[in-house]
Amino acid sequence: SGGPDDMPAEIWEKVKNHPCYSEEAHHHYARMHVAVAPACNIQCNYCNRKYDCSNESRPGVVSQKLTPEQAVKKVVAVASEIPQMTVLGVAGPGDSLANPKKTFETFRLLQEQAPDIKLCISTNGLALPDYVDEICQYNVDHVTITINMVDPAVGAKIYPWIFWDHRRITGYEAAKILHERQMLGLEMLTARGVLTKINSVLIPGINDQHLMDVNREVKKRGAFLHNIMPLISEAEHGTVFGLTGQRGPSAQELKAVQDACAGGANLMRHCRQCRADAVGLLGEDRSDEFTLDKIEEME
Ligand code: SF4
Ligand code: SF4
């Protein structure tokens, strides 16, 4: 089939032109993210809010935050310059579904102005069950959920708090709610036929032994890909985990966990952890060519 690992043919049919899912397509089709979602409803210990959501992004550069109108202007400008542009994602810099008005307004405007562009979102999953209807209403093709644990005891080491049901919740209880909402959201998306990929951040000493369990649980609930990404730990990223420095995994450690999970949910190994405002083919980032100033000049 040419698909990654043993992906079923009907799923491959849906994703083969998607740069993030097909090793082949990512040389020929472009994607972009628009940074319309600044707020977040949870705290990950590995996050530094000065930069983009670590779900899907490289540290170091702050994305230019856009209104939905600005975002759509940018998408239209990019699509006219980069004809391979097929996929638009909302991936932060916070959480797409902690900013539902902005995320879905962007999608609504895009459906009017550029109906051929496929839509995707990534989310930590906390708010996901509340927005499955909207996700289906706007024909969002793919959803990525970042799931780092399926055991709240592990989760409590990763997430100091969540904001849910109008209050801040901490500790084990917070991780348990997040876990339950992630599993429910994944099940609801699977039931509605929305392709769902799982990202996990490999955090040595915290969840490295645990990601096989994550792999098994997400596969059981219908995730079509499981992407295990390394924690990016650089001084300027401010990865703290309390106050002790938390290192990222070595290449060998990453590969060992990916290999241990092989045969479970299909693994995607070419995700580049793009910025929340990434533009272009995977592996290239042309976001600097499409700042708001430049887009306004193009008009
Ligand atoms: Fe940061 Fe993303 Fe975690 Fe929110 S979900 S705290 S933006 S890494
Ligand atoms: Fe694709 Fe990964 Fe980049 Fe998102 S972060 S656009 S999934 S390669």
| Residue 57 predicted with pLDDT over 50 | no
Q: Which residues line ligand 2 (CB under 6 A)?
A: 20, 31, 56, 89, 271-274, 282
Q: Is residue 297 assigned to a domain?
A: no
Check pLDDT > 90 for residue 188: yes
Among 273, 281, 285, 286, which is best to mutate for testing ligand 2, by the most ligand atoms less than 8 A from CB? 273
pLDDT band at residue 23, thresholds of 50, 70 and 90?
low
CATH code for the domain of 231: 3.20.20.70
Q: Calculate how far, in angstroms, residue 176's C-alpha sits from the geometric centre of ligand 2.
A: 27
Distance 294 CA to ligand 2 centre (A): 24
Q: How confident is the model at residue 198 (pLDDT cuts 50, 70, 90)?
A: very high
Give the number of the atom of ligand 2 that is nearest the alpha carbon of residue 20: 1
Ligand nearest to the CA of 63: 1
As a whole number, mean pLDDT of residues 17-31 equals: 70
C-alpha distance across the termini of the chain, in Å: 43
CA distance 102 to 204: 35
| Among candidate residues 209, 201, 215, 213, the one with its CA nearest the CA of residue 247 | 201
144 CA closest ligand 2 atom index? 7
Tell me the pLDDT of the chain averaged across its residues.
Answer: 82
Question: Which pLDDT score, from 0 to 100, does residue 30 have?
Answer: 78
Which of 36, 48, 49, 54 to mutate for ligand 1's pocket (most ligand atoms within 8 Å of CB)? 54
Residue 63's pLDDT is what?
Answer: 66
The pLDDT-based confidence of 291 (bands split at 50, 70, 90) is confident
Q: Whose CA is nearest to atom 4 of ligand 1?
A: 40
Note whether residue 120 is domain-resident: yes
Ligand nearest to the CA of residue 281, numbered in listed order = 2
Question: How many alpha carbons fall within 13 Å on the CB side of residue 218?
Answer: 38
Determine the pLDDT at residue 238.
47
Beta bridge partners of 195: 142
Note whether residue 202 is domain-resident. Answer: yes
- Backbone phi, psi, residue 152, to 5°: -55, -25
Residues 57 and 167: their CA atoms lie apart, in Å, by: 28
CA of 60 to the centre of ligand 2 (A): 17
- DSSP of 251-285: HHHHHHHHHHHTTSSPB--------TT-EESTT--
- Atom number, ligand 2, closest to the C-alpha of residue 270: 8
pLDDT greater than 90 at residue 282: no
Cβ of residue 103 lying under 6 Å from some atom of ligand 1: no
Tally of structural domains, the chain = 1
Share of the chain above pLDDT 70, in %: 76
User: Does residue 54 form part of some domain?
Assistant: yes
**For residue 268, which of 250, 278, 282, 281 has the smallest C-alpha distance?**
282
- Predicted local confidence at residue 9, as pLDDT: 76
For residues 166 and 14, the model is more confident at 166
Contact 226, 200 (CB under 8 A): yes
Could you tell me if residue 62 is inside a domain? yes
Residues 69-127 pLDDT 10s: 999 998 888 888 887 788 888 887 889 999 999 999 999 999 999 888 889 999 999 99
Q: How far apart are CA 132 and CA 151, in angstroms?
A: 24
For residue 136, what is the DSSP state? H
Which ligand 1 atom lies nearest to the CA of residue 124? 5
pTM: 0.86
Using the predicted structure, report yes or no on whether residue 293 has a pLDDT greater than 70. yes
Which DSSP string corresponds to 82-117?
Answer: -TTEEEEEE--BS-GGGSHHHHHHHHHHHHHH-TTS
Of 102, 58, 60, 112, the C-alpha closest to 273 is 58
In a domain, 144, yes or no: yes
Q: Is 57 in the pocket of ligand 1 (CB under 6 A)?
A: no
- Structural domain that includes position 214: 9-291
Is 3 a domain residue?
no
Own/partner long-range contacts of 245-251 (Cβ < 8 Å, ≥24 apart) = 246/45, 246/46, 246/203, 246/204, 246/205, 246/206, 247/204, 248/202, 248/204, 249/202, 249/203, 249/204, 249/208
Mean pLDDT of 23-34: 74
Q: Are 59 and 48 in contact (CB under 8 A)?
A: yes
Ligand 1 centroid–CA 73 distance in Å is 26
**In the chain, which ranges are continuous DSSP H helix?**
9-15, 68-81, 100-113, 128-137, 152-158, 171-191, 211-220, 251-261, 292-298
Q: Which of 12-16, 166-170, 254-258 has the highest mean pLDDT?
A: 166-170
Query: Does 60 score more than 80 pLDDT?
Result: no
Asked whether residue 286 carries a pLDDT value surpassing 80, the answer given is no
pLDDT at 256: 92
- Residue 298 forms part of a structural domain: no
% of the chain with per-residue pLDDT over 90: 45
